[in-house]
Chain A
Protein backbone atom coordinates (compact mmCIF):
# COMPACT_ATOMS: atom_id res chain seq x y z
CA UNK A 1 0.00 0.00 0.00
CA UNK A 2 2.63 2.54 -1.00
CA UNK A 3 1.83 6.11 -1.89
CA UNK A 4 -1.43 5.93 0.00
CA UNK A 5 -2.49 9.28 1.34
CA UNK A 6 -6.10 9.55 2.31
CA UNK A 7 -6.51 12.89 4.14
CA UNK A 8 -7.11 12.36 7.85
CA UNK A 9 -9.85 14.95 8.03
CA UNK A 10 -11.88 13.16 5.35
CA UNK A 11 -11.92 10.02 7.49
CA UNK A 12 -12.84 12.11 10.52
CA UNK A 13 -15.59 13.69 8.41
CA UNK A 14 -17.03 10.25 7.67
CA UNK A 15 -16.79 9.35 11.34
CA UNK A 16 -18.53 12.59 12.36
CA UNK A 17 -21.30 12.03 9.83
CA UNK A 18 -21.82 8.46 11.06
CA UNK A 19 -21.98 9.73 14.64
CA UNK A 20 -24.53 12.40 13.73
CA UNK A 21 -26.69 9.90 11.85
CA UNK A 22 -26.52 7.56 14.82
CA UNK A 23 -27.55 10.33 17.18
CA UNK A 24 -30.40 11.32 14.87
CA UNK A 25 -31.59 7.72 14.85
CA UNK A 26 -31.37 7.61 18.63
CA UNK A 27 -33.63 10.66 18.88
CA UNK A 28 -36.23 9.87 16.22
CA UNK A 29 -36.86 6.18 16.92
CA UNK A 30 -39.05 4.92 19.75
CA UNK A 31 -38.46 1.22 19.16
CA UNK A 32 -35.85 -0.03 21.64
CA UNK A 33 -34.21 -2.29 19.03
CA UNK A 34 -33.57 0.73 16.79
CA UNK A 35 -32.26 2.66 19.79
CA UNK A 36 -29.71 -0.10 20.42
CA UNK A 37 -28.77 -0.13 16.73
CA UNK A 38 -28.19 3.64 16.82
CA UNK A 39 -25.93 3.18 19.84
CA UNK A 40 -23.94 0.64 17.83
CA UNK A 41 -23.57 3.13 14.96
CA UNK A 42 -22.34 5.82 17.35
CA UNK A 43 -19.81 3.50 19.01
CA UNK A 44 -18.63 2.39 15.59
CA UNK A 45 -18.14 6.00 14.49
CA UNK A 46 -16.04 6.68 17.58
CA UNK A 47 -14.00 3.55 16.86
CA UNK A 48 -13.40 4.74 13.29
CA UNK A 49 -12.06 8.05 14.61
CA UNK A 50 -9.71 6.20 16.97
CA UNK A 51 -8.36 3.85 14.29
CA UNK A 52 -7.89 6.77 11.86
CA UNK A 53 -5.96 8.73 14.48
CA UNK A 54 -3.84 5.65 15.21
CA UNK A 55 -3.10 5.27 11.51
CA UNK A 56 -2.25 8.96 11.22
CA UNK A 57 0.61 8.60 13.70
CA UNK A 58 1.42 5.00 12.75
CA UNK A 59 0.88 3.83 16.33
CA UNK A 60 -1.03 0.72 17.53
CA UNK A 61 -2.81 2.63 20.33
CA UNK A 62 -5.77 3.48 18.11
CA UNK A 63 -6.45 -0.17 17.42
CA UNK A 64 -6.07 -1.02 21.13
CA UNK A 65 -8.81 1.47 21.96
CA UNK A 66 -10.83 0.01 19.08
CA UNK A 67 -10.64 -3.38 20.82
CA UNK A 68 -11.84 -1.85 24.08
CA UNK A 69 -14.75 -0.13 22.30
CA UNK A 70 -15.59 -3.48 20.72
CA UNK A 71 -15.82 -5.18 24.11
CA UNK A 72 -17.92 -2.32 25.50
CA UNK A 73 -20.27 -2.65 22.51
CA UNK A 74 -20.54 -6.41 22.96
CA UNK A 75 -21.33 -6.17 26.67
CA UNK A 76 -23.80 -3.34 26.07
CA UNK A 77 -25.63 -5.26 23.36
CA UNK A 78 -25.86 -8.44 25.44
CA UNK A 79 -27.42 -6.63 28.40
CA UNK A 80 -29.52 -4.38 26.16
CA UNK A 81 -31.07 -7.27 24.28
CA UNK A 82 -31.78 -9.02 27.60
CA UNK A 83 -33.65 -5.87 28.59
CA UNK A 84 -35.49 -5.91 25.24
CA UNK A 85 -36.83 -9.37 26.07
CA UNK A 86 -37.97 -8.17 29.51
CA UNK A 87 -39.64 -5.05 28.07
CA UNK A 88 -41.48 -7.13 25.47
CA UNK A 89 -42.68 -9.55 28.15
CA UNK A 90 -43.86 -6.88 30.59
CA UNK A 91 -45.32 -4.23 28.29
CA UNK A 92 -46.17 -6.35 25.20
CA UNK A 93 -44.59 -3.62 23.07
CA UNK A 94 -41.14 -2.33 22.17
CA UNK A 95 -42.25 1.32 22.11
CA UNK A 96 -40.28 3.14 24.78
CA UNK A 97 -43.02 5.76 25.23
CA UNK A 98 -45.27 3.04 26.66
CA UNK A 99 -42.66 1.88 29.16
CA UNK A 100 -43.24 4.84 31.50
CA UNK A 101 -44.01 3.19 34.80
CA UNK A 102 -41.49 5.47 36.52
CA UNK A 103 -43.35 8.53 35.10
CA UNK A 104 -40.11 9.94 33.76
Chain B
Protein backbone atom coordinates (compact mmCIF):
# COMPACT_ATOMS: atom_id res chain seq x y z
CA UNK B 1 0.00 0.00 0.00
CA UNK B 2 2.83 2.35 0.87
CA UNK B 3 4.46 1.82 -2.53
CA UNK B 4 1.24 2.70 -4.33
CA UNK B 5 0.91 5.93 -2.34
CA UNK B 6 4.54 6.74 -3.14
CA UNK B 7 3.86 6.08 -6.81
CA UNK B 8 0.95 8.52 -6.92
CA UNK B 9 2.96 11.19 -5.10
CA UNK B 10 5.91 10.77 -7.48
CA UNK B 11 3.63 10.82 -10.52
CA UNK B 12 1.93 14.02 -9.34
CA UNK B 13 5.30 15.67 -8.75
CA UNK B 14 6.51 14.61 -12.20
CA UNK B 15 3.44 15.99 -13.97
CA UNK B 16 3.29 19.28 -12.03
CA UNK B 17 7.02 19.89 -12.43
CA UNK B 18 6.83 19.21 -16.18
CA UNK B 19 3.90 21.60 -16.64
CA UNK B 20 5.78 24.27 -14.70
CA UNK B 21 8.94 23.63 -16.74
CA UNK B 22 7.06 24.08 -20.01
CA UNK B 23 5.46 27.37 -18.94
CA UNK B 24 8.39 29.23 -17.34
CA UNK B 25 9.80 32.28 -19.11
CA UNK B 26 13.27 31.89 -17.62
CA UNK B 27 15.25 28.98 -19.07
CA UNK B 28 17.15 28.19 -15.85
CA UNK B 29 13.92 28.01 -13.81
CA UNK B 30 12.41 25.69 -16.40
CA UNK B 31 15.52 23.53 -16.29
CA UNK B 32 15.33 23.12 -12.52
CA UNK B 33 11.69 22.06 -12.73
CA UNK B 34 12.67 19.62 -15.45
CA UNK B 35 15.33 18.11 -13.18
CA UNK B 36 12.68 17.68 -10.44
CA UNK B 37 10.45 15.94 -12.97
CA UNK B 38 13.27 13.59 -14.01
CA UNK B 39 14.02 12.74 -10.38
CA UNK B 40 10.34 11.95 -9.81
CA UNK B 41 10.37 9.64 -12.84
CA UNK B 42 13.47 7.97 -11.35
CA UNK B 43 11.46 7.34 -8.16
CA UNK B 44 8.75 5.69 -10.29
CA UNK B 45 11.42 3.48 -11.88
CA UNK B 46 12.59 2.40 -8.43
CA UNK B 47 9.02 1.62 -7.38
CA UNK B 48 8.26 -0.56 -10.41
CA UNK B 49 11.37 -2.66 -9.82
CA UNK B 50 13.86 -1.16 -12.28
CA UNK B 51 16.67 0.15 -10.06
CA UNK B 52 19.24 0.15 -12.89
CA UNK B 53 17.02 2.37 -15.04
CA UNK B 54 16.43 4.65 -12.04
CA UNK B 55 20.16 5.06 -11.41
CA UNK B 56 20.80 5.80 -15.09
CA UNK B 57 17.93 8.28 -15.13
CA UNK B 58 19.55 10.24 -12.32
CA UNK B 59 23.16 9.94 -13.50
CA UNK B 60 22.70 10.53 -17.22
CA UNK B 61 19.43 12.47 -17.59
CA UNK B 62 19.37 14.61 -14.46
CA UNK B 63 23.16 14.71 -14.28
CA UNK B 64 24.88 14.82 -17.64
CA UNK B 65 22.20 16.02 -20.07
CA UNK B 66 20.79 18.72 -17.79
CA UNK B 67 24.31 19.96 -16.99
CA UNK B 68 24.84 20.38 -20.74
CA UNK B 69 21.71 22.54 -20.86
CA UNK B 70 22.87 24.63 -17.89
CA UNK B 71 26.25 25.08 -19.53
CA UNK B 72 24.81 26.32 -22.82
CA UNK B 73 22.25 28.61 -21.16
CA UNK B 74 24.98 30.21 -19.08
CA UNK B 75 27.24 30.52 -22.13
CA UNK B 76 24.49 32.37 -24.05
CA UNK B 77 23.75 34.71 -21.12
CA UNK B 78 20.18 35.54 -22.17
CA UNK B 79 19.23 38.09 -19.50
CA UNK B 80 16.04 39.99 -18.71
CA UNK B 81 14.85 41.07 -22.17
CA UNK B 82 14.75 37.43 -23.22
CA UNK B 83 12.47 36.68 -20.27
CA UNK B 84 10.15 39.56 -21.14
CA UNK B 85 9.93 38.37 -24.75
CA UNK B 86 9.12 34.82 -23.65
CA UNK B 87 6.42 36.06 -21.28
CA UNK B 88 4.76 37.91 -24.16
CA UNK B 89 4.63 34.67 -26.14
CA UNK B 90 2.81 32.75 -23.39
CA UNK B 91 -0.64 34.26 -23.96
CA UNK B 92 -3.77 32.01 -24.02
CA UNK B 93 -4.55 32.87 -27.65
CA UNK B 94 -1.16 31.42 -28.61
CA UNK B 95 -1.37 28.19 -26.66
CA UNK B 96 -5.10 27.42 -26.96
CA UNK B 97 -4.87 25.72 -30.39
CA UNK B 98 -1.83 23.55 -29.60
CA UNK B 99 -3.39 22.66 -26.24
CA UNK B 100 -6.53 21.43 -28.00
CA UNK B 101 -4.45 19.35 -30.42
CA UNK B 102 -2.39 17.69 -27.71
CA UNK B 103 -5.56 17.12 -25.65
CA UNK B 104 -7.02 15.26 -28.63
CA UNK B 105 -3.88 13.14 -28.94
CA UNK B 106 -3.99 12.49 -25.20
CA UNK B 107 -7.61 11.37 -25.43
CA UNK B 108 -6.72 8.96 -28.24
CA UNK B 109 -3.80 7.50 -26.29
CA UNK B 110 -6.04 7.24 -23.21
CA UNK B 111 -8.60 5.29 -25.21
CA UNK B 112 -5.88 2.96 -26.45
CA UNK B 113 -4.40 2.24 -23.01
CA UNK B 114 -7.79 1.91 -21.31
CA UNK B 115 -8.06 -1.77 -22.34
CA UNK B 116 -4.75 -2.71 -20.71
CA UNK B 117 -5.10 -4.38 -17.35
CA UNK B 118 -3.00 -6.03 -14.67
CA UNK B 119 -0.38 -4.80 -12.25
CA UNK B 120 3.33 -4.43 -12.91
CA UNK B 121 5.28 -7.41 -11.63
CA UNK B 122 6.53 -7.09 -8.08
CA UNK B 123 9.67 -8.88 -9.17
CA UNK B 124 12.72 -6.68 -9.54
CA UNK B 125 14.60 -6.72 -12.87
CA UNK B 126 18.21 -6.44 -11.76
CA UNK B 127 21.15 -4.79 -13.49
CA UNK B 128 22.64 -8.25 -14.08
CA UNK B 129 19.67 -9.37 -16.15
CA UNK B 130 19.78 -6.12 -18.12
CA UNK B 131 23.50 -6.57 -18.79
CA UNK B 132 23.01 -10.16 -19.93
CA UNK B 133 20.24 -9.08 -22.32
CA UNK B 134 22.30 -6.12 -23.52
CA UNK B 135 25.33 -8.18 -24.49
CA UNK B 136 23.34 -11.25 -25.55
CA UNK B 137 20.44 -10.75 -27.96
CA UNK B 138 20.81 -6.96 -28.12
CA UNK B 139 24.52 -6.71 -28.93
CA UNK B 140 23.83 -5.28 -32.40
CA UNK B 141 21.73 -2.52 -30.83
CA UNK B 142 24.64 -1.68 -28.53
CA UNK B 143 26.94 -1.30 -31.52
CA UNK B 144 24.40 0.90 -33.31
CA UNK B 145 24.14 3.05 -30.17
CA UNK B 146 27.93 3.31 -30.11
CA UNK B 147 27.98 4.52 -33.71
CA UNK B 148 25.19 6.99 -32.95
CA UNK B 149 27.12 8.41 -30.00
CA UNK B 150 30.26 8.70 -32.15
CA UNK B 151 28.27 10.58 -34.81
CA UNK B 152 26.86 12.85 -32.09
CA UNK B 153 30.35 13.48 -30.74
CA UNK B 154 31.80 14.36 -34.15
CA UNK B 155 28.78 16.51 -35.05
CA UNK B 156 28.76 18.52 -31.85
CA UNK B 157 32.55 18.97 -32.00
CA UNK B 158 32.25 20.29 -35.54
CA UNK B 159 29.45 22.74 -34.65
CA UNK B 160 31.08 23.88 -31.41
CA UNK B 161 34.56 24.32 -32.87
CA UNK B 162 33.37 26.72 -35.54
CA UNK B 163 31.50 28.68 -32.89
CA UNK B 164 34.68 29.14 -30.85
CA UNK B 165 36.88 30.04 -33.82
CA UNK B 166 34.65 32.81 -35.17
CA UNK B 167 34.21 34.39 -31.77
CA UNK B 168 37.88 35.34 -31.48
Contacts and interface: CB of A to CB of B under 8 A. Distances in A.
Interface of A: 1-14, 16-25, 27-31, 33-34, 36-38, 40-41, 44, 47-48, 51-52, 54-64, 66-68, 70-79, 81-86, 88-89, 94-95
Contacts of B7: 6, 10-11
A33 B98 contact: no
Contact of B22 (A38, A48, A55): A38
Contact of B159 (A2, A34, A40, A79): A79
Interface in B31-62: 31, 34, 37-38, 41, 44-45, 47-50, 52-53, 56, 60-61
A21 B132 contact: no
Interface string B88-130: 0110001100110111011001100110111111111100011
Which 4 pairs of residues, A with B, have the shortest CB-CB distance?
A75-B152, A82-B159, A5-B119, A27-B98
Q: Is the interface of B mostly helix, strand, loop or mixed?
A: helix
Contacts of B130: 60, 63-64, 67
Nearest to B78: A94
B interface, size bucket: 35 or more
A4 B49 contact: yes
A3 B160 CA distance: 51
B120 A55 contact: yes
A13 B50 contact: no
